Amino acid sequence: MAVERRTLIHDGPGGRFEGVFAWDDALAGARPGVLVIPNILGQKEEDNAKAEALAALGYAAFACDVNGQGKRTQRSPGSSRYMDEMNADRALLRDRLAASLAALKAQPEVDASRTAAIGFCFGGKCVLDMARSGLDVLGGVSFHGVYDRPDYDNVSPMTAKLLICHGRDDPLGKPETVVSLGQELTDSGADWRIHAYGHAGHAFTDHSMKGSTTPGVAYEERADRRSWQAMQNFLAELFA
């Protein structure tokens, strides 16, 4: 095994975008591709590590950028400014996701007919929006995502299969919100499943949130481990 990475810079709505592509150079031929969509902070090393972990599983993965080249934040006041711009224009977000997906599909290591997306926090919302808008992926996994609907209609039937990995104590995804999401996906004809992890809140996969004192927002090892395994099972079935 020889997992490699390269920087990908591509054009998209509103400018240029920079992410990191990872693949196992020891494998021959094209393989399924997975788009990795970052959280509120934007593209960063943690996302690149997720792409490399997917490459080690036999996929090719692109830790993408929907904010724009050089637009990154830290956990501090104002950290949501780029996310806020996307939340205010979900059609633009959709189009930027489409550009990221096209960049993934264009890589020679990727079987463009077999792609999926995973995302964390804001990235989990992005995965749902890809399915809602009918972007060409077979499926997606949302980790501690945000579930509010965009201001455009869902495609119906929604053909992308979905796994939603949810922290039961997430203040951004209260029980009634999760029930509403399930109804939305059912109404759209989606093949969906929701895994709710007890004693876990928002950001349960985020190692930088270990020791967090924010109620309902912290890393949780069991939910992190179990959701990653659930993702592996989901992708294996999706690409079988």
C-beta of residue 102 within 8 angstroms of C-beta of residue 126: no
Look at residue 108 in the predicted model and tell me its pLDDT.
98
Predicted local confidence at residue 98, as pLDDT: 98
Question: Strand runs (DSSP E) across the chain, as ranges?
Answer: 3-12, 15-24, 31-37, 60-63, 110-120, 139-143, 161-167, 192-197
Supply angle C-alpha 165, 53, 145, rounded to 5. 25
Q: Which residue ranges of the chain lie beneath pLDDT 70?
A: none
Output the pLDDT for position 215. 96
DSSP string covering 113-169, please? EEEEEEEETHHHHHHHHHHHHT-S-SEEEEES------SSPPPSS--SEEEEEEETT
* Residue 75: per-residue pLDDT: 80
Distance separating alpha carbons of residues 185 and 142, to the nearest angstrom = 13
CATH superfamily membership of 3-238: Alpha/Beta hydrolase fold, catalytic domain (3.40.50.1820)
103's tokens:
């960049």
CB distance 238 to 59 below 8 Å: no
According to the model, what pLDDT value does residue 77 have?
79
The pLDDT value recorded for residue 222 is: 98
pLDDT in the model for residue 36: 98
pLDDT for 15 equals 94
Nearest Cα to Cα of residue 164 among 201, 203, 198, 125: 125
Q: Which helix (H) or strand (E) holds 73?
A: none
Decide: residue 203, CB within 10 A, 0-12 exposed, 13-18 middle, 19+ buried.
buried
Q: What is the pLDDT of residue 192?
A: 98
Strand partners, 22: 5, 61
